[in-house]
Structure 1
């Protein structure tokens, strides 16, 4: 469903033009195109690869380096047992519905959303058309209103639709089926009836090894490898808490009906952080004060459940203080996510943080906020930030027995009064024979409350009776010559706990696409050619070198400039084609190249060059060293074009077609 958007110069946004540009200039292309392609799979071309690499590089600097994170690269192939234990085999699913006649399959929540939004749009257009007709020609009113009455909705129905859309992510399969029935939602293409929604697991299944007896999956997230390596990472970090691991790599989800270009794909690049934190003390963060005044647009779950989508601009410090955001560490990462998105060039006015409602929360999460970016497809989740509590470490520890815990000396020893059980092992074995271990395990598992009660039974009756499923009739008597239950004081010098985890998870491909939409525009004088205004730090190519002509005098200068830019780590391209200077710059504006150097006959005389800014098309002229210094500062983000234009002489050039 298209959402009306405007470009940075106020013109209406044209998604078709941008996507045409991105395919034509090879930012991306459908995979296996000459074989007809496969839905939801795309290849990135040179500018797409460079843009992605630059974003990931800034991500590493912003998070991994800034926070001293421990980066790991874990395997994509994952055994069945791991994902069964983590809950993904049973719960990592979406709801799909099928057209029994055509065989077409839809993702249920997306279908409901698409149909209701389409009806709302039609209703809005119909009302607008009616108003225009009444204003322009009252005589034609009856005839034309009749033609548009089909899409006209009552105000009450409009409100119902808007409330459903506000909480669309909170419906389960049964509820989606009821909505489809109530609002007569069918196959949009054929109007055919659809079967009720059924659960579909999103993981790609495979087998590991030639005998196929070790089932596995392609990982749906990079997180599990980080959890399984927790004990080794803790040891690498010298047992110091808190700490964070990070991973960048491909993940795979077998999307039901990928239809939104790069936004919904089956293979994608993720950058995930697992921040391990002590659950005691409110999950404080030592650097929270640095970000407490960062303002975020927050859409909380109560507002959504009320059928509304109004955001509230809130400083993250206030949001944590009022418990809107659960804890400091979660809040810290929400603020850092916002700062990262702004740093790479995402439009700040098109960022919001939406809190998950109960039904849409992942099985492992206790709280979760999505950083959503506004695109022509609507608000799209690009970063999830979840409090996974101790879920993952706990389930893997329970399954394997591995000590995925933190053990640290207590500053003050802890004295604990508790009921302790002693078993007379020499007599216990002969008494219960083969059931001995089962009975012993049942005794060890007794709660403190039950131990206290049984101690009285032991003193009064000389025996206790406990429940032991699978042994005899399920009840076992233990006489007082085999067992002692006493209250004693135990001193605990070491604290053992399972850390909680705060997880920011970035969908890099979605961020790339949203960034392109936010930075795409066309010049008033040349609407046929687009401009991608990427910040120099993330632009695929930083500099275009443009010799005025193919004259041999210019060739040494091309080589010198290329070498100097390489020496300072700046990527450049040379365009010495026969096209005019204006056309050559225009072609590279489409690629988002922020800077251009022109070599002309004055360069031959005095070794000066012009430097052009992509967005303003203004130029300055200076020596090669001054030009390279300006480029380096612009690419590193230490200067803006206005700073360069203020200190270097302006040049009125000949940028003509």
Structure 2
């Protein structure tokens, strides 16, 4: 007389349901909003273009016919039947124009589709907040934009996602997990480039001082123009779509020029806007009571791994390749946070740094993912206005679309991770960064984007960062973050030798001698050869010492630079880094949307909001129900509950009968 519903067998529904077959349900709710097939989208684009052209032609004909009617009315020679016939033709053109407008309305994401998207989003968010999955932080004090609390079921979902992440990546790939502080000294983030370059472009209302993110204003304007301006020509629509596709490729000057071109003003006040300028997104703080040591709340977890590379490499038996991983909080002072969990000021990141020999980026397990096929969106297709297409991963790597095997391997592993969590295959794509999005040192970079009611949302970044990070920290700290490859037989190589003359440097720089010596020894070959040429021609050269924060004068007698042939028993090099970086909050929100659907109640008098989670992430794995309200069955139910707890299975017990 006791019913035990185990999720992995029956996938039960309680107010928040659990199952893996969620896709068709959520799709039916959104069927009038948008199509989730790239094939359908591309067909709609073709129809929209022809309709816009037809509308433009009809508008021209309408204006010409209107002029003809006015001329006939003003002419004394025109007869009444001629005027009536002209008016009838004018009315027919108006009807044709209205028909085309209605067809265009059906294709663009305005009207009923946009209303349904908004209704769907509100239903999801309202249910999440009512059921305490997450709520605005400090709610009783009216909250702070961009900060959210996870409630009990939200914490369970998050914990399950992170547990699967550890299993799928850390355990399966034998990664080294670390946990580093959130407060980071300024010198670390100067070396990484965050102090100087971790910025978004911001504009200000010139009268009120209210701040807006410049690219968001332009993006919103372009989307609204496409959705609401039915009279826009097909050429203008194509221009705006191309602009949206390449928005991240615009410099500050280009972005400012586009804002002026379209006459974009402050959304709330309609006041003019300033030119775009960079705003650093890091929260600054002080370390220690004196306030003299500047620090920042880390904007990512990766730097803690990079600065520990030497110890991790030793811990791994001085062998490459290996990967280190970290889960932790990160902080970004967003200009105008919106979209709930998708853009927040404090969030959880799960990041992997896979260190590999830059001369061999093959992966021993690459064949396990090479046959996967999913939506990929290379930069060439983005720039040319095409849509994402299903591509076999092995073909993308072999054709050079994806830079190397290891990067391809992690793209495949990310795909498997997200789809096993419950993300719909047709609503997941991998988009390659455009030229201006990608850092100058990166070899290649892809984003795993998930489609939601907000559009395509970047949730995971997978980048080949080359050797930039380790080199940057080596130069700034003076500590060599390198790996070695031992040769079976010694090799004769021509090598640049930089030999600082410590006696002369000591006389010239006294207490700073060590910093200058380390900086000279850490020079790149090209810089060293340039210095040698300048010293030979001029006798001295200006040299920047990063650890001193100033430029010093190096004379010819202070350093010897020459090339020598040597026998080497090992090769010393700086490893490259493949970095998959996961925005856990974004993944969870998209999962909520993909798991959501509505169904009628048993009475049929209302619609029920339901989350149908895959067993892997469901906050409650099973429920124990005594079918009869009887003391002995309640005791059995409690015994089963205790056994489930001991087995680590989250559950509920309902003894109300």
Please tell me the TM-score bracket, short chain as reference.
Answer: 0.7 to 0.9
User: Is 1:319 paired with 2:396?
Assistant: yes
Residue number in structure 1 paired with 2:349: 270
Residue number in structure 2 paired with 1:504: 580
2:376 to 298, 304, 318: 298
**CA drift at 1:317:** 0.9
Please say if residues 421 and 617 of structure 2, whose CA atoms lie closer than 8 Å, have aligned partners that are also in contact. yes
Q: Equivalent residues in 2 for 1:130-149 (5 A)?
A: none
Residue number in structure 2 paired with 1:359: 436
Residue number in structure 2 paired with 1:27: 133
User: Is 1:116 paired with 2:192?
Assistant: no
2:568 to 492, 503, 517: 492
Q: Partners of 2:312 and 2:197 in 1: how far apart? A: 28
- Tell me the secondary structure at the aligned position of residue 73 of structure 1: coil
Q: Deviations over 1:270-292 (max 9, x none)?
A: 000000000013x1111111111
Q: What is the root-mean-square deviation in Å for CA atoms of aligned residues?
A: 3.3
User: Is 1:164 paired with 2:228?
Assistant: no
**CA drift at 1:170:** 1.5
Structure 2: 5+ residue stretches without partners: 1-22, 31-116, 544-552
2:412 to 317, 332, 335: 335
Residue number in structure 1 paired with 2:26: 8
Q: Equivalent residues in 2 for 1:216-231 (5 A)?
A: 216-231=295-310
Q: Partners of 2:276 and 2:526 in 1: how far apart? A: 47
Residue number in structure 1 paired with 2:211: 105
**CA drift at 1:433:** 6.7
Structure 1 residues 434 and 227, CA gap change in structure 2 (3 angstroms) = closer
- Tell me the secondary structure at the aligned position of residue 310 of structure 1: coil
Residue number in structure 1 paired with 2:184: 78
Q: Deviations over 1:215-270 (max 9, x none)?
A: 00000000000000000001100101100000000000011101111100000000
Please say if residues 241 and 276 of structure 1, whose CA atoms lie closer than 8 Å, have aligned partners that are also in contact. yes
**CA drift at 1:48:** 0.3
Please say if residues 7 and 518 of structure 1, whose CA atoms lie closer than 8 Å, have aligned partners that are also in contact. no
Residue number in structure 2 paired with 1:597: none
Structure 1 residues 216 and 523, CA gap change in structure 2 (3 angstroms) = same
Residue number in structure 2 paired with 1:55: 161
Residue number in structure 2 paired with 1:381: 458
Q: Partners of 1:310 and 1:81 in 2: how far apart? A: 43
Q: Deviations over 1:305-333 (max 9, x none)?
A: 23x25112111111111110000010000
Structure 1 residues 568 and 154, CA gap change in structure 2 (3 angstroms) = same
Q: Partners of 1:261 and 1:430 in 2: how far apart? A: 61
Residue number in structure 2 paired with 1:288: 366
Q: Partners of 1:59 and 1:453 in 2: how far apart? A: 49
1:236 to 307, 310, 315: 315
Q: Partners of 1:275 and 1:333 in 2: how far apart? A: 10
Please say if residues 255 and 266 of structure 1, whose CA atoms lie closer than 8 Å, have aligned partners that are also in contact. yes
Please say if residues 284 and 329 of structure 1, whose CA atoms lie closer than 8 Å, have aligned partners that are also in contact. yes
**CA drift at 1:64:** 0.3
Q: Partners of 1:411 and 1:476 in 2: how far apart? A: 41
338-347 or 6-15: which moved more?
A: 6-15
Count of residues in Structure 1 that have an aligned counterpart in Structure 2: 531
Q: Partners of 2:307 and 2:479 in 1: how far apart? A: 9
Structure 1 residues 476 and 258, CA gap change in structure 2 (3 angstroms) = closer
**CA drift at 1:548:** 4.0
Residue number in structure 2 paired with 1:393: 470
Q: Deviations over 1:501-542 (max 9, x none)?
A: 000000000000000001100114565321111111110111
Please say if residues 600 and 608 of structure 2, whose CA atoms lie closer than 8 Å, have aligned partners that are also in contact. no
Structure 1 residues 429 and 122, CA gap change in structure 2 (3 angstroms) = closer
Q: Partners of 1:187 and 1:358 in 2: how far apart? A: 30
2:635 to 549, 556, 567: 556
Q: Partners of 2:556 and 2:412 in 1: how far apart? A: 60
Structure 1 residues 230 and 429, CA gap change in structure 2 (3 angstroms) = closer
User: Is 1:154 paired with 2:260?
Assistant: no
Q: Partners of 2:124 and 2:622 in 1: how far apart? A: 22
Q: Partners of 1:564 and 1:198 in 2: how far apart? A: 60
**CA drift at 1:104:** 2.5
Residue number in structure 2 paired with 1:41: 147
Structure 1 residues 411 and 161, CA gap change in structure 2 (3 angstroms) = same
Scaled by the length of structure 2, what TM-score is found?
0.75
Please say if residues 403 and 443 of structure 2, whose CA atoms lie closer than 8 Å, have aligned partners that are also in contact. no
User: Is 1:346 paired with 2:431?
Assistant: no
Structure 1 residues 484 and 60, CA gap change in structure 2 (3 angstroms) = closer
- Tell me the secondary structure at the aligned position of residue 347 of structure 2: strand
- Tell me the secondary structure at the aligned position of residue 254 of structure 1: coil
**CA drift at 1:469:** 2.2
Please say if residues 227 and 392 of structure 1, whose CA atoms lie closer than 8 Å, have aligned partners that are also in contact. yes
249-258 or 189-198: which moved more?
A: 189-198
Q: Partners of 1:514 and 1:64 in 2: how far apart? A: 23
User: Is 1:513 paired with 2:619?
Assistant: no
- Tell me the secondary structure at the aligned position of residue 28 of structure 2: coil
Residue number in structure 1 paired with 2:548: none
Please say if residues 371 and 393 of structure 2, whose CA atoms lie closer than 8 Å, have aligned partners that are also in contact. yes
Q: Partners of 1:431 and 1:49 in 2: how far apart? A: 59
User: Is 1:565 paired with 2:637?
Assistant: no
- Tell me the secondary structure at the aligned position of residue 253 of structure 2: helix
Please say if residues 523 and 531 of structure 1, whose CA atoms lie closer than 8 Å, have aligned partners that are also in contact. yes
User: Is 1:468 paired with 2:540?
Assistant: yes
Q: Partners of 1:37 and 1:314 in 2: how far apart? A: 44
**CA drift at 1:429:** 6.5
Q: Higher RCO, 1 or 2 (CA under 8 Å, sep at least 6)?
A: 2
